[in-house]
Amino acid sequence: MSISGKKILIAISGGIAAYKIHFLIRDFVKKGAEVQVIMTPDAEQFVTKLSISTLSKKPVYTDFYSDNGTWNSHVELALWADVMLVAPCTANTLSKMVHGMCDNLVIATYMSAKCPVFIAPAMDLDMYVHPSTRKNLEMAESFGHVVIPAESGELASGLIGQGRMAEPETISNTIENFFNSQQEAQTLRGKVVLITAGPTYEALDPVRFIGNHSSGKMGFSLAEEASKRGAKVILISGPTAQTINDKNVELHKITSAKEMLAKVFEFYDTIDIGIASAAVADYAPKEVAKEKIKKNDENLTLELVKNPDILKTMGEKKTHQFLVGFALETQNEEENAKGKLEKKNLDMIVLNSLRDEGAGFKNDTNKIKIFTRTEKKEFDLKSKDEVAKDILNFVESQLLK
Ligand code: C5P
């Protein structure tokens, strides 16, 4: 059963359909899932914490603080979850979710969640068809959330129409199908992927460095996508503003090329795939001044020495690893990229040309060409998340050969 061992966070808001959640919790727990429930203050009018916690086997939280003075961390709750389900989701809670009206524990937790979110709306029929609800549901879907539509039937008001929360069985099946499809897509399960990302900073003195404009976005998108596909990811990144919160991604922050090299070789023997997307500084100052360099002289000459080529070293020591490099070129792009493939003993190289608008360092988009020794594939301009998918699809196709 694919739901077994999964962590399901259920947020109950204040609607009569809340009573049905007991059946759903029992079903999830029976199937081996861990269930944590949080409620809006109004939900307590419909169900009791005691009945819910008895079924979920965990304390139920309605507020940021418990009676015993402990803080209920919405961030921890959110990051714990593999999925979050808001059921029943009232018009009020839906509206707060899509507009960021963060005035209770449920909304704060929802806004801290990085996992997939499922919403099972429940309201009276006129409220359900009201343009504001329609718009809010559309917005929720545009955020990537899954709306489990309300069903038709007799409503608590006595009116007949659409608005009843989907049956627990429908909700349970939707979530189970989600986990099943996730498992099917775990094409890199069992693989260890090492990714280098971001720039490196080479110190000149205690406050200055030589660096570059790499944002690290491409490497972080690759790490997220590889993790989604079930890989264990070792992400070694220079200084960037990117963040990642993913159980399968081990983030190691370094500053200089030498530190990146050392970190890579802590793991090199254990990895299956190495992807070098970092913009490593080619040169570093020969001497790092102990004190801040003073601006006394009209001219200042810096002596730079070549940094280690991390990827080339990986290529030289390759035993079984599949190695992917990046080439950012401004001229003779294809020739240079193919040259690097050979020189660094790579299996595949991703070329982005600075001549292409939207490609390269700081953009959220990229336009790439991929080369192996025998193949060439060209891609359209896409978001870096989409480019990460193309790159990993290509890697997977090569591994199958
Ligand atoms: O030789 P060039 O710097 O153009 O090669 C780019 C590729 O090599 C990228 O994949 C980059 O991450 C990697 N590289 C490296 N160490 C260096 C320079 C580049 O790993 N010192």
Query: Which domains does the chain possess?
Result: 7-184 (3.40.50.1950), 192-399 (3.40.50.10300)
Distance from Cα 235 to the centre of ligand 1, integer Å: 16
Ligand 1 and 188: CB distance under 6 A: no
Question: Ligand 1 atom 4: the closest Cα is on which residue?
Answer: 327
Q: What is the predicted pLDDT for the residue at 268?
A: 98
Question: Ligand 1 atom 9: the closest Cα is on which residue?
Answer: 326
Distance from Cα 196 to the centre of ligand 1, integer Å: 10
Which pLDDT tens digits describe the chain residue by residue (401 residues)? 589 999 999 999 999 999 999 999 999 999 999 999 999 999 999 999 999 999 999 999 999 987 777 888 888 999 999 999 999 999 999 999 999 999 999 999 999 999 999 999 999 989 999 999 999 999 999 999 999 999 998 888 888 888 999 999 999 999 999 998 887 788 999 999 999 999 999 999 999 999 999 999 999 999 999 999 999 999 999 999 999 877 789 999 999 999 999 999 999 999 999 999 999 999 999 999 999 999 988 999 999 999 999 999 999 999 999 999 999 988 899 999 999 999 999 999 999 877 677 766 667 888 999 999 999 999 999 999 999 999 999 999 999 88
Pocket test for ligand 1, best of 309, 338, 366 (most atoms within 8 A of CB): 309
- Which pairing describes strands 83-89 and 117-121: parallel, antiparallel, or unpaired? parallel
Pocket test for ligand 1, best of 311, 349, 395 (most atoms within 8 A of CB): 311
Distance from Cα 328 to the centre of ligand 1, integer Å: 9
Question: Where does residue 21 fall: left (phi above 0), alpha (psi -120 to 50 degrees), or beta otherwise?
Answer: alpha
Ligand 1 and 229: CB distance under 6 A: no
Which residues on adjacent β-strands are paired with residue 368?
352
Residue 212 is among the residues annotated as catalytic for this protein: yes
Q: What is the predicted pLDDT for the residue at 174?
A: 97
Question: Ligand 1 atom 1: the closest Cα is on which residue?
Answer: 340
**How far apart are alpha carbons 79 and 115 in whole angstroms?**
8
**Token code pair at residue 147:** 């709306």
Q: What is the predicted pLDDT for the residue at 362?
A: 67
**Token code pair at residue 19:** 């009573």
Distance from Cα 194 to the centre of ligand 1, integer Å: 15
Distance from Cα 281 to the centre of ligand 1, integer Å: 9
Question: Ligand 1 atom 17: the closest Cα is on which residue?
Answer: 309
Choosing from 212, 248, 336, 393, the catalytic residue is: 212
Exposure pattern of 376-393 as b/e (b: 16+ CB <10 Å)?
eeebeebebbbbbbbbbe
**How far apart are alpha carbons 99 and 84 in whole angstroms?**
18
Ligand 1 and 326: CB distance under 6 A: yes
Distance from Cα 58 to the centre of ligand 1, integer Å: 50
Ligand 1 and 263: CB distance under 6 A: no
**How far apart are alpha carbons 29 and 83 in whole angstroms?**
15
Distance from Cα 227 to the centre of ligand 1, integer Å: 23
Which residues on adjacent β-strands are paired with residue 383?
365
Question: Ligand 1 atom 21: the closest Cα is on which residue?
Answer: 309
Ligand 1 and 196: CB distance under 6 A: yes
Ligand 1 and 309: CB distance under 6 A: yes
Distance from Cα 288 to the centre of ligand 1, integer Å: 23
Ligand 1 and 310: CB distance under 6 A: yes
Q: What is the predicted pLDDT for the residue at 40?
A: 98
Residue 254 near residue 174, CB atoms below 8 Å: no
- Which pairing describes strands 117-121 and 146-147: parallel, antiparallel, or unpaired? parallel
Ligand 1 and 150: CB distance under 6 A: no
pTM of the model: 0.69
Ligand 1 and 276: CB distance under 6 A: yes
